[in-house]
Amino acid sequence: MTELVEPPAPAGAVAPRWCDRCGESVAAGPHLACAEARALEPPRWCGHCRRRMKVQVVPTGWSAVCVEHGEIRG
């Protein structure tokens, strides 16, 4: 008898629940203005836990750190 075990989803495959610019729920609607702004600006909120991100400007652009989910760069 074979047991079916669901493989854990890879971390990158989990869709963010929170808009990383305005901090509102992604499910609440399309964040078109946010997406546009995010092409130029670093994120302000972690999309996974809605913590405030620690943003630093670096020579290549920016670096945003969530204490829980680590760093993203842009």
Identity of the residue, 5 or 39, whose beta carbon is nearer to Zn ion in the bound complex: 39
Instruction: Report the nearest approach of Zn ion to the CB of residue 66 (Å).
Output: 3
Q: Beta partners for 70?
A: 66
Q: Report d(CA 3, CA 16) in Å as an integer.
A: 30
Identity of the residue, 64 or 66, whose beta carbon is nearer to Zn ion in the bound complex: 66
Burial code of 47-72, b = ≥16 C-beta within 10 A, e = fewer? Answer: bbebeebeeeeeeeeebbbbeeeeeb
Identity of the residue, 48 or 63, whose beta carbon is nearer to Zn ion in the bound complex: 48
Binding site for Zn ion (CB under 5 A): 19, 21-22, 31, 34, 46, 48-49, 51, 66, 68-69
Instruction: Report the nearest approach of Zn ion to the CB of residue 50 (Å).
Output: 7
